[in-house]
Amino acid sequence: MKKQPYNISRFFLLLIVFSVIFCRPSDLENANDVHSREFNETQILNCLLIGPFCTREVGVPIQPLVQLDFTNGSLVNSGPVVFNLSSQEWVPNWTTGKDGDVNGGLNFDTNNRYYSSDAGQDASLPMGAKPRTMCAWIKPTQLPANGSHQLIFRYGSTTTANASVLSLSTATGNKVSFLGFGYDALADYTVPLNTWTHLCASYNGGNTASLYVNGNWIGSPTFSGSGPLNTTSGAFVIGTWTGSGGLPYYWWGDSDAMRIYDIALSAKQIGQVYQTGIAYLE
Taking the chain (282 residues) in runs of 10, the rounded mean pLDDT of each run is 48 48 47 43 47 54 98 98 95 97 97 95 97 98 95 91 93 95 94 98 96 98 92 96 73 98 98 97 94
Q: What is the pLDDT of residue 203?
A: 98
Q: What is the DSSP string of the chain?
A: -PPPPP-HHHHHHHHHHHHHHH--GGGSS-HHHHHHT---HHHHHHHHHSTTTTPPPP-PBP--SEEE--GGG----SSS-----B-SSBPPEEE--TTS-TT-EEEE-STTB-EEPPTTTTTTS--BT--EEEEEEEEESSPPPTTEEEEEEEEEETTTTEEEEEEEEESSSEEEEEE-SSEEEEEE--PPTTS-EEEEEEE-SSSBEEEEETTEEEE-PBPEES----B---EEEES---SSSS------EEEEEEEEESS---HHHHHHHHHHS--B--
- Please give the CATH architecture assigned to the domain spanning 66-276: Sandwich (2.60)
Q: Which amino acid is at 29?
A: E
CA distance 157 to 163: 5
* Contact between residue 189 and residue 140 where contact means Cβ atoms under 8 Å apart: no
Chain-centroid distance of CA 203 in Å reads: 14
Q: What is the pLDDT of residue 160?
A: 75
CA distance 184 to 169: 10
Chain-centroid distance of CA 132 in Å reads: 13
Q: What is the pLDDT of residue 23?
A: 54
Pairing of strands 148-157, 216-219: unpaired
Q: What is the pLDDT of residue 110?
A: 94
Q: What is the pLDDT of residue 243?
A: 54
CATH 2.60.120.200 domain locations along the chain: 66-276
* Contact between residue 54 and residue 22 where contact means Cβ atoms under 8 Å apart: yes
Q: What is the pLDDT of residue 57?
A: 52
